[in-house]
Amino acid sequence: MRHHRSHRSFVGLAIASAVLAASCGSGDGSDEASSGDTVAVGAPPNEPRTVTSGDGVEDVSGVTLVTYDSFPEADTSLNDALDRFTAATGIDVQILVAGDTGTMLSKAALTAGNPEGDVMWGIDNSFLSRAIDDDIFEPYLVGGIENIPSELTELVPNGEATPVDFGDVCVNYDIGWFDDRGLEPPSTLDDLIDPAYAGTLVVQNPATSSPGLAFLLATIDEYGTDGWQAYWQALGDNGVEVVESWTQAYYERFTWAGGGPTPMVVSYGSSPPAEVIFADPARDDAPTGVIADTCFRQVEFAGVLRGTPATAEARQLVDFLAGADFQNELALNLFVYPANTTVELPQEFTDHAVVPDDPRSLDPVVIDENRSAWIDEWTELVLG
Amino acid sequence: MNRLPRSVVAALAAVPAAALAVFFVWPFATIVSEALSGAAIRDTVTRRSTWEIVWFTSWQALLSTIVTIVIGLAPAAVVARFDFPGRGVLVGLLTAVFVLPTVVMGAAILALLPDALDRTVLAIVAAHVVFNLAVVVRLVGAMWELLPTDMEAAAATLGASRWRVFTDVSLPLIRPALTAAATVVFLFSFTSFGVIRVVGATGTRTIEVEVWRRATQLGDLGGAAVLTLLQLALLGVVVAWSTTLQRRHSRALGLRLRSPRRVPSGRSEQRVVTAIVVGTFAVVAAPLAALVIRSFSTPTGWSTAAWTDLGRTEIRPGLRVGVDPWNAVVNSLTTAVWATTFAVTIGALASLAIAAAGQAGRFLDAGLMLPLGTSAVTIGFGMLITFDVAPFDWRASWWLVPVGHALVAVPFVVRATLGVLRSVDPDLTAAAATLGASPTRAWYETVVPYLWRPLAAGAGLATAISLGEFGATSFLSRSGGETMPIAIERLLGRTGSILQAQGYALATMLAAVTVLVVVLTDRVQSFTRPTTSRRRG
Determine the Cα–Cα distance for residues A258 and B122; give it in Å rounded to an integer. Answer: 23
Question: What does the radius of gyration of chain A's CA atoms come to, in whole angstroms?
Answer: 22
Q: Looking at residue B150, what is its pLDDT?
A: 76
Considering CB atoms only, which of B213, B318, B490 is closest to A70? B490
Is the Cβ of A158 closer than 8 Å to some Cβ of chain B?
A: no
The mean pLDDT value for A6-32 works out to 38
Q: Does residue B145 fall inside a structural domain? A: yes
Q: Looking at residue A89, what is its pLDDT?
A: 96
Q: Does residue B232 fall inside a structural domain? A: yes
Q: How confident is the model at residue B497 (pLDDT cuts 50, 70, 90)?
A: confident
CA angle, corner A315, sides to A310 and A319, nearest 5? 150
Q: Does residue A42 fall inside a structural domain? A: yes
The mean pLDDT value for B261-269 works out to 84
Does residue A125 sit in the same domain as residue A196? no
Q: Residue A257 and residue B315: Cβ atoms within 8 Å?
A: no
**Would the pLDDT of B4 be above 80?**
no
Min Cα–Cα distance to chain B from A25, Å? 31
Q: Residue A109 and residue B219: Cβ atoms within 8 Å?
A: yes
Is the Cβ of A259 closer than 8 Å to some Cβ of chain B?
A: yes
* Residue A228: count of CB within 10 angstroms of its CB: 23
**pTM (global) more than 0.95:** no
Does residue A61 sit in the same domain as residue A209? no
Reference B61, options B138, B141, B129, B135; nearest CA is: B129
Backbone φ and ψ of B247, nearest 5°: -65, -45
B529 touches B452 (CB < 8 A): yes
Question: Strand pairing partners for B314?
Answer: B320
Report the 3 state secondary structure along chain A. Answer: CCCCCCCHHHHHHHHHHHHHHHHHCCCCCHHHHHHHHHHHCCCCCCCCCCCCCCCCCCCCCEEEEEECCCCCCCCCHHHHHHHHHHHHHCCEEEEEECCCHHHHHHHHHHCCCCCCCCEEEEEEHHHHHHHHHCCCEECCCCCCHHHCCHHHHCCCCCCCCEEEEEEEEEEEEEHHHHHHCCCCCCCCCHHHHCHHHCCCEEEECCCCCHHHHHHHHHHHHHHCCCCHHHHHHHHHHCCCEEECCHHHHHHHHEHHHHCCCECEEEEECCHHHHHHHCCCCCCCCCCEEEEEEEEEEEEEEEEEECCCCCHHHHHHHHHHHHCHHHHCCHHHHHCCEECCCCCCCCHHHHHHCCCCCCCECCCHHHHHHHHHHHHHHHHHHHHC
Q: Which of B115, B119, B210, B217 is the best substitution to test chain A (most A C-beta atoms within 10 A)?
A: B217
Reference B495, options A128, A352, A7, A382; nearest CA is: A352
Determine the Cα–Cα distance for residues B432 and B430; give it in Å rounded to an integer. Answer: 5
Instruction: Name the burial class of residue A285, with classes exposed (0-12), middle (13-18) and buried (19+) by CB atoms within 10 angstroms of its CB.
Output: exposed
Reference A19, options A31, A7, A35, A36; nearest CA is: A36
Q: Does residue A118 fall inside a structural domain? A: yes
Determine the Cα–Cα distance for residues B118 and B202; give it in Å rounded to an integer. Answer: 11
Q: Does residue B470 fall inside a structural domain? A: yes
How many domains does chain B contain in total? 1
Does residue A40 sit in the same domain as residue A151? yes
B505 touches B448 (CB < 8 A): no
Min Cα–Cα distance to chain A from B378, Å? 11
Reference A264, options A252, A272, A274, A256; nearest CA is: A256
Min Cα–Cα distance to chain A from B495, Å? 6
Higher pLDDT, A1 or A72: A72
Q: Residue B214 has what DSSP assignment?
A: I
Q: Residue B384 and residue A111: Cβ atoms within 8 Å?
A: yes
Higher pLDDT, B310 or B353: B353
Q: Which of B321, B377, B495 is the best substitution to test chain A (most A C-beta atoms within 10 A)?
A: B495
Q: Looking at residue A17, what is its pLDDT?
A: 42
From chain B, pick out residues whose CB is under 8 angstroms from the CB of A352: none
Does residue A374 sit in the same domain as residue A322? no
Q: Does residue B396 fall inside a structural domain? A: yes
Tell whether the torsion through CA atoms of B64, B69, B70 and B72 is positive or negative.
positive
B203: containing domain: 6-31+38-296+320-528
The mean pLDDT value for B241-250 works out to 80
Q: Does residue A1 fall inside a structural domain? A: no
Q: Residue B320 has what DSSP assignment?
A: E
Give B529's Cβ-side CA count (13 Å radius): 18
pLDDT digits (tens, 9 = 90+) for A38-70: 334 444 444 434 444 344 334 458 999 999 988
Determine the Cα–Cα distance for residues B439 and B444; give it in Å rounded to an integer. Answer: 8
Query: Across chain B, what does the average pLDDT equal?
Result: 85
pLDDT digits (tens, 9 = 90+) for A181-238: 999 999 999 999 999 999 999 999 998 889 999 999 999 999 999 999 999 999 999 9
Tell whether the torsion through CA atoms of B474, B481, A338 and A137 is positive or negative.
positive
Q: Does residue A49 fall inside a structural domain? A: yes
Determine the Cα–Cα distance for residues A206 and A204; give it in Å rounded to an integer. Answer: 6
Does residue A329 sit in the same domain as residue A250? no
B400 touches B383 (CB < 8 A): yes
Does residue A263 sit in the same domain as residue A322? no
Q: Looking at residue A29, what is its pLDDT?
A: 36
Considering CB atoms only, which of A114, A208, A250 is closest to B213? A208
Cis bond before residue A281 (omega within 30° of 0): yes
Q: Does residue B285 fall inside a structural domain? A: yes
Q: In what helix (H) or strand (E) does residue B298 lie, and over which residues does it extend?
A: strand B297-298
**Would the pLDDT of B3 be above 70?**
no
Q: Residue A242 and residue B221: Cβ atoms within 8 Å?
A: no
B91 touches B270 (CB < 8 A): no
A1 touches A128 (CB < 8 A): no
A115: containing domain: 8-166+298-347
Min Cα–Cα distance to chain A from B224, Å? 12
Tell whether the torsion through CA atoms of B336, B341, B344 and B350 is positive or negative.
negative
A–B: how many Cβ contacts below 8 A? 167
Q: Which of residues 197-226 of A touch B (CB under 8 A)?
A: 205, 207-208
What percent of chain B clears pLDDT 90, i.e. is strictly above it?
Answer: 29
Higher pLDDT, B329 or B443: B329
Does residue A78 sit in the same domain as residue A160? yes
Q: Does residue A357 fall inside a structural domain? A: yes
Determine the Cα–Cα distance for residues B18 and B361; give it in Å rounded to an integer. Answer: 14
pLDDT digits (tens, 9 = 90+) for B429-438: 778 888 888 8
Nearest CA in chain B to A268: B495
Q: Residue B477 and residue A107: Cβ atoms within 8 Å?
A: yes
Q: Looking at residue A260, what is its pLDDT?
A: 87
Does residue A334 sit in the same domain as residue A272? no
Q: Residue B494 and residue A274: Cβ atoms within 8 Å?
A: yes
Is the Cβ of A10 closer than 8 Å to some Cβ of chain B?
A: no
Q: Residue A110 and residue B215: Cβ atoms within 8 Å?
A: no
Q: Does residue A211 fall inside a structural domain? A: yes
**Would the pLDDT of B402 be above 50?**
yes
**Would the pLDDT of B513 be above 80?**
yes
Is the Cβ of A271 closer than 8 Å to some Cβ of chain B?
A: yes
The mean pLDDT value for A332-338 works out to 93
Min Cα–Cα distance to chain B from A215, Å? 16
**Would the pLDDT of B13 be above 60?**
yes
Min Cα–Cα distance to chain A from B334, Å? 18
Nearest CA in chain B to A271: B495
The mean pLDDT value for A234-249 works out to 93
pLDDT digits (tens, 9 = 90+) for B101-123: 777 777 778 777 777 777 889 99
Q: Residue B486 and residue A94: Cβ atoms within 8 Å?
A: no
From chain B, pick out residues whose CB is under 8 angstroms from the CB of A103: 215-216, 377, 474-475
Q: Residue B495 and residue A69: Cβ atoms within 8 Å?
A: no
Q: Does residue B308 fall inside a structural domain? A: no
Considering CB atoms only, which of A102, A250, A277 is closest to B216? A102
Nearest CA in chain A to B220: A106
Question: Strand pairing partners for A268?
Answer: A169
Q: Residue B496 and residue A97: Cβ atoms within 8 Å?
A: no
Q: Return the minimum-mean-pLDDT range out of A32-36, A148-152, A315-319.
A: A32-36
Q: Does residue A3 fall inside a structural domain? A: no
The mean pLDDT value for B501-523 works out to 84
Q: Spell out a b/e string for B217-226, using b for 16 or more CB atoms within 10 Å of the CB, else e.
A: bbbbbbbbbb
Q: Does residue B306 fall inside a structural domain? A: no
Q: Looking at residue B319, what is its pLDDT?
A: 77
The mean pLDDT value for B314-327 works out to 78
What percent of chain B clears pLDDT 70, i.e. is strictly above it?
Answer: 94
B2 touches B356 (CB < 8 A): yes
Q: Looking at residue B313, what is its pLDDT?
A: 63
Q: Does residue A242 fall inside a structural domain? A: yes
Reference A68, options A102, A114, A106; nearest CA is: A102
Reference B226, options B234, A370, B197, B476; nearest CA is: B234
Determine the Cα–Cα distance for residues B65 and B493; give it in Å rounded to an integer. Answer: 31
How many domains does chain A contain in total? 2
Q: How confident is the model at residue B33 (pLDDT cuts 50, 70, 90)?
A: very high
Is the Cβ of A245 closer than 8 Å to some Cβ of chain B?
A: yes
Does residue A149 sit in the same domain as residue A191? no
B138 touches B185 (CB < 8 A): no
Check which CATH number belongs to the domain holding B22 and give it: 1.10.3720.10
Is the Cβ of A370 closer than 8 Å to some Cβ of chain B?
A: no
Q: How far is residue B13 CA from its own chain's centroid? A: 22
B188 touches B131 (CB < 8 A): yes
Q: In what helix (H) or strand (E) does residue B319 lie, and over which residues does it extend?
A: strand B319-320
Does residue A315 sit in the same domain as residue A265? no
The mean pLDDT value for B411-417 works out to 85
Q: Looking at residue B256, what is its pLDDT?
A: 64
Q: How confident is the model at residue A2 (pLDDT cuts 50, 70, 90)?
A: very low
**Would the pLDDT of B425 be above 80?**
no
Does residue A17 sit in the same domain as residue A149? yes
Check which CATH number belongs to the domain holding A316 and give it: 3.40.190.10
Considering CB atoms only, which of A114, A252, A287 is closest to B110? A252
Does residue A176 sit in the same domain as residue A79? no
Question: Could you tell me the CA-to-CA distances from B436 to A201, B428, B433, B450 in Å, in that order?
Answer: 79, 13, 5, 21
Q: How far is residue B159 CA from its own chain's centroid? A: 38
pLDDT digits (tens, 9 = 90+) for B445-455: 888 888 887 88
Nearest CA in chain B to A286: B496
Considering CB atoms only, which of B103, B306, B381 is closest to A247? B103
Q: Which of B304, B319, B477, B482 is the best substitution to test chain A (most A C-beta atoms within 10 A)?
A: B477
The DSSP result for B331-374, as a single string, is HHHHHHHHHHHHHHHHHHHHHHHHHHHTHHHHHHHHHHHGGGGS
